Amino acid sequence: MKHTPGPWGIEYDFAIVMRGQVVGMTPAPDNASRDEVEANTKLIAAAPTMLQALLDIRLSIMMGAGGGVTDTAWIVNSHSETIVERIDGILISLGYDPEKLGDE
């Protein structure tokens, strides 16, 4: 299965766009607040970026394991700065402050 390639953006608060074309609209349950629908839109728009980050992390782990490294913790630790930067970028695009995640 293939998805519409990213990056995706947001227009008009609820429209998911790619290269200026609307590729989707965020559904809004009857009782959803505007903030909730906007948060859902950000989450949907971030999907291609999140998928690519997961694929990159998986590849890093698999390459390390294929190279004879069997300690996954070592592999993750050796790439932790890059992994954290990618995750923080996604969190920021969703409206979260990575430094305050434990406070929410």
User: Minimum mean pLDDT among 11-15, 56-60, 96-100: which range?
Assistant: 56-60
Question: Which string of DSSP letters, residue by residue, matches the chain?
Answer: -----S--EEETTTEEEETTEEEEE----TT--HHHHHHHHHHHHTHHHHHHHHHHHHHHHHHHHHTT---HHHHHHHTHHHHHHHHHHHHHHTT--GGGGGG-
Q: Looking at residues 59-74, what average pLDDT do you find?
A: 62
User: What predicted TM-score, i.e. pTM, was given to this entire model?
Assistant: 0.68
Over 70: is that where the pLDDT of 2 sits?
Answer: yes
Confidence of residue 68 (pLDDT cuts 50, 70, 90): low
